[in-house]
Structure 1
Amino acid sequence: MIIPQGTVVAVTDGEKLDLYRNAGTGSELTLVAMPDVSVDDEARGSGGRHGSSAANPDESQAAEDGFSAGVAQYLNKQVLEGGIDNLVVISSPRSLGELRKHYHKFLSAKLLLEIPKDLTGHSVEDVQKAVHAA
């Protein structure tokens, strides 16, 4: 898949968010790290998971869901304010499911690709390989 120049690639796992922008042209994918952003990890997750007690998610899972909801809020805001024209999301499968619950319809329209894979903490080359393979 050809990823347009300027596309934002968000790599997240429920605890960390790495953002990259494609500086490549044509079929060349050249991801450049963007500055770190603050994510509201107190955002409300869906709460729809059954944890170890009384049908409530455990604290760790609730925190990850809250972080994923915060990532979605951040991305939604960037799309609505015109900061993101095209988006690729790479996320651990469970976090990706939580993210999807919070996507704004305009974000969904800008979404080029989702990759259900945990690549946080991996090199830019690993992220680029995953995008090329998708």
Structure 2
Amino acid sequence: MKLPHKAHVVLVDGENFVVMRNKGQPFEPNLELVGRPDLSLTNFSAGVRHQDPGSQQPERNDLNELARAAAAAEWLNAKAIAGEIDQVLVIADPKKLGEMRRHYHTELEKRLVGEIPKTMIHDTTDRIAEAITAA
């Protein structure tokens, strides 16, 4: 995958939200940490979809994790609307990525350069850059 110079890369899992930036070239990403924004978990709308008994099991549905994904999307929406993010790549496990997509604003959608459905939050920046290049 081609990752534009200065594009943001966000990594999301059920407990963490990390923002990085590509200071390298499009086909040779070099990621630097921008920050770990503190998110307020206020959107628990995912619970509406999980009313059947099978999805009530804790290992299958953790509303706090889905609320963190929604909060990450809302944070990205605000940055995209304010013009603080021009290009962004989202890396999250498939379940969190699906929840985030439900909350994407059209301004954020315009700025997405890609999505990678993987859990990589604890990987090194070199491994993340390799995954981006291979995607």
State the TM-score, normalizing by the size of structure 2. Answer: 0.88
Query: In structure 2, how many angstroms separate the alpha carbons of the residues matched to 1:103 and 1:34?
Result: 21
More helix by share: 2
Are 1:46 and 1:101, in contact at CA under 8 Å, matched by a contact in 2? no
SS at match of 1:125: helix
Give 1:57 shift.
7.2
Aligned position for 1:87: 88
Give 1:2 shift.
2.0
Aligned position for 1:14: 14
Letter of the structure 2 residue corresponding to residue 45 of structure 1: S
Aligned position for 2:119: 118
Aligned position for 1:70: 71
Q: Deviations over 1:87-111 (max 9, x none)?
A: 1000011000000000001101111
CA RMSD of aligned residues (A): 2.0
Show structure 2 runs of 5+ residues with no match: none
Identity of paired residues, percent? 30
Q: Tell me which moved more, 22-31 or 97-106.
A: 22-31
Q: Tell me which moved more, 10-19 or 85-94.
A: 10-19
Are 2:6 and 2:22, in contact at CA under 8 Å, matched by a contact in 1? yes
Aligned position for 1:44: 44
Show structure 1 runs of 5+ residues with no match: none
SS at match of 1:46: helix
Are 2:89 and 2:115, in contact at CA under 8 Å, matched by a contact in 1? yes
Give 1:56 shift.
5.4
Query: In structure 2, how many angstroms separate the alpha carbons of the residues matched to 1:116 and 1:36?
Result: 20
Give 1:6 shift.
1.1
Are 2:27 and 2:133, in contact at CA under 8 Å, matched by a contact in 1? no
Query: In structure 2, how many angstroms separate the alpha carbons of the residues matched to 1:52 and 1:34?
Result: 41
Q: Deviations over 1:43-83 (max 9, x none)?
A: 23332124647x75759611111111100000000111111
Q: How many positions carry a matched residue from both structures?
A: 133
